[in-house]
Amino acid sequence: MARANDEIEAILQEYADLIAITGGDAFRARSYEKAARAIGGYHADVATLDPKGLREIPNVGKSIADKIVEYLTSGQISAVEERRQSVPAGVRELITIPMLGPKKAMVLYEELGISNVDQLLDAVHEERLRDLKGFGEKTEANILHGIALMQKAGTRILLNAAMDAAEQIVAELSGIEGCRKCAYAGSLRRMRETIGDIDILVAADSSAPFMDALAALPHTAEVIAHGAKKTSVRTTKGLQIDLRVLPPDSWGAGLQYFTGAKAHNIRTREIAVRQGLKLSEYGLFDAETGERIVSSTEEEIYERIGLPWIPPTLREDRGEIAAALRGELPVPVAEDDIRGDLHTHTDLTDGLAPLEEMVAAAAARGYSYYAVTDHAPDLAMQRMTKEKMLAQRDRVRELDRTHKGMRLLHGTELNIGPDGDVDWPGDFLAGFDICVASIHSHFNQSREALTRRLVRACENPYVSVIGHPTTRRIGKRPPIDADFDAVFAACARTGTALEINAHPERLDLGDEDILRAKRHGVLFAIDSDAHSTTHLPYMRYGVGTAQRGWLTKDDIVNTWPLAKLRRFLSPRA
C-alpha cells in the first residue's frame, strides 16, 4: 500500500507552489516545502499519527498538522482548494519546466494568458515572450529546450513510482479467490529506468473477478478496455495498466512473452522456429502437430529451446542469447549480495533523519557495514565545517558496534570543483574511512574541462568513489558532456570505483554507461545516496540497473567483505 505520506507530501508541495506562484510570502512557501519533504521521508505512516505525533515531524507545526488532519479525514484541504481557484492547474505544470519558476510562470499567465505547455509552445514559436519584461530570445530558447527534455521522458514514469503502483495492484489481486499466481512483467520486471505502462499477469481459471477488481481500484480513473483476457485502465495519475489473465498452465509462457523486450522475444521465437517449434504467450508448441510441449514455467521454455533461464534484466537483445548459447551468461549481482551502503546523508547536512535513525534503519536491513557521507563545505549551502565533521566522527565511532554485526564507516561526499579540486587537503581527507566525490554544479563547462575535472578527481589518492558520475536527473537534467571513455579509463587506471546511484531519479551510471565502463575494467559501488531512512530501500533499483549492465558481485565493491573493502578504500600511494 502506498503511504499517506506520499499524498500529503504532494499536496503540501502543491500548496507551496501555489503560494509561490501567487506571490505569497516566500518563507511561508518554503515552510510548506520543507514540511512536505520531511513528511515524504518520515519513517512512520502519518495516517497512524495523532496531532501530537504529527508535530514531532520536523518542520510540522500546528497549522500544518491541522491541515494534515483535515486531509486525512476529508480527503482535501480547504486552503489548498481556495488557492486552486485562483491558479489554473496548467500554470503549476509550467514550473516543472527547467528554467521556469513561479515568478515567470505567473507573468506568462497574467500577461499572455498562458496556462498550459501547449499554449506556451505556441507563444514561443510566435516570439511573443521576448517582449515581456525579464524575458528575451535566450529565455525562449531555454524554455523550448526545457520542454523538449520533459517530453523526451514523455509520459513514462520513474521506476519507483511504477514499482509502488504495481506492487500494490499485485497485492490486491493476489488476495482474490482463485488467484493461482500474480506478478508484474514488462519493462518493470526488466527494471528499465522509466516505465511507460505496467503489465500485470494473473494465473487463474476464471478471469472476471480480476478484471472487475482492477476496474474498481480506487486509483482507476478510466477503463480503456475490459475483456475476458485483457483489461486496460488508466490511473488518476495517467498511468496505463494492462492486466492479462492466463490459464494456470500457460503461466511460464505468458510471463516470458510479456516480459520482453520485444527484440529478445523475436530472437527466442526465431530459435524456436528453427527447431520446428512455435512460441507464443500460451506455450511452446510443435509447429506441425500443434501439440503443446511446455508452457508452465519460464525455465522449461528456455531449456526446451536450448537456453538456460535468462534473468529478466538481461532480456534486451544486447547479446544475452549469444552469451547464453556459449554458456557465458553472467550471474547478475543480487540485492542479497550487497553488504553495505557507501553513500548516505544525515540531518547534519541535507538529510532528513539524525545519524542514529539512519544507522538503526541500515542495521535493520541486515548490512554488515554502513558509511555516513555527509556533504563537505564546498557545497556552501550545507554549512559544513571541519569541527562539525570531527564531532560527527566521534559520534560515529561511539555508535560503531552498537548494532550487532554492522560496522560503521565515517566518510564524506566531496564536491568536485570546476578544476577537479575537492573540498579539503589530503591530510584532512586521510582521516576519513571513505571519500565519495561528486559534481554538483558547473554542468555546462566544455567537454575538455569536464573530462579533465573528473579525471583529476579520480587521480586524488583519497577519492575512492565517483558519485553520480553523469549528474543526470531523469526527465529534468541531461548528463554532463564529458568524454566518459576517458573517465572510465582513468577510473580503471587509478582504482577508483564508479557509483551506481540508486536514487530512481538518478540511476547514475545508467545501464548503457555501465556496460561501457565495464569494458574498461572498472569497479563499481551501488549506493542509495539516502537522505532519509525511506530512501535506503532504493538500493534495489541500483541493483536492477547494475544487472542491466551485466555486473556480477565481483564487480561491485560493496558486496565485498569489510576487510577487502577497507584495502580498496585505503589511500593509494
Partner DNA sequence: GCCGTTTTCGGCCCGACTGTTTTCAGTCG
**Shortest Cβ distance from residue 305 to DNA (Å)?**
47
Nearer to DNA, 384 or 492 (CB): 384
Nearer to DNA, 106 or 500 (CB): 106
**Shortest Cβ distance from residue 381 to DNA (Å)?**
3
**Shortest Cβ distance from residue 372 to DNA (Å)?**
19
How does strand 277-280 pair with strand 283-286?
antiparallel
Nearer to DNA, 74 or 444 (CB): 444
Q: Which residues bind DNA (CB under 7 A)?
A: 25, 27-28, 30-32, 35, 55, 58-65, 95, 98-105, 130, 133-140, 142, 350, 380-383, 440-442, 444, 473, 476-477
**Shortest Cβ distance from residue 48 to DNA (Å)?**
19
- 249 CB-contact burial (10 Å; exposed 0-12 / middle 13-18 / buried 19+): middle
- 561 CB-contact burial (10 Å; exposed 0-12 / middle 13-18 / buried 19+): exposed
Nearer to DNA, 65 or 321 (CB): 65
**Shortest Cβ distance from residue 423 to DNA (Å)?**
14
User: HSE-up of 125 (CA within 13 Å, CB side)?
Assistant: 7
**Shortest Cβ distance from residue 23 to DNA (Å)?**
9
Helices (H), 275-313: 298-304
Nearer to DNA, 460 or 471 (CB): 471
Nearer to DNA, 140 or 335 (CB): 140
**Shortest Cβ distance from residue 26 to DNA (Å)?**
8
Report which of 309, 152, 173 is spatially closest to residue 242, judged by C-alpha positions: 173
Rounded Cα distance between 275 and 3, Å, is: 50
Please list the helix, strand and coil fractions of the chain in percent, rounded to the nearest 5, in that order.
Answer: 45, 15, 40
Q: How far is CA 434 from CA 191, 390, 395, 446, 533, in A?
A: 29, 14, 16, 29, 21
Q: What's the grid cell of residue 46? A: 502519518
**Shortest Cβ distance from residue 72 to DNA (Å)?**
15
Nearer to DNA, 136 or 306 (CB): 136
**Shortest Cβ distance from residue 356 to DNA (Å)?**
16
Report which of 245, 244, 223 is spatially closest to residue 233, judged by C-alpha positions: 223
How does strand 181-184 pair with strand 194-195?
unpaired
In 204-343 the beta strands, taken as DSSP E runs, fall at 220-226, 230-235, 240-246, 277-280, 283-286, 292-294, 340-341
Nearer to DNA, 100 or 522 (CB): 100
Rounded Cα distance between 175 and 365, Å, is: 27
Rounded Cα distance between 165 and 172, Å, is: 11
Amino acid at 20: A
Nearer to DNA, 291 or 387 (CB): 387
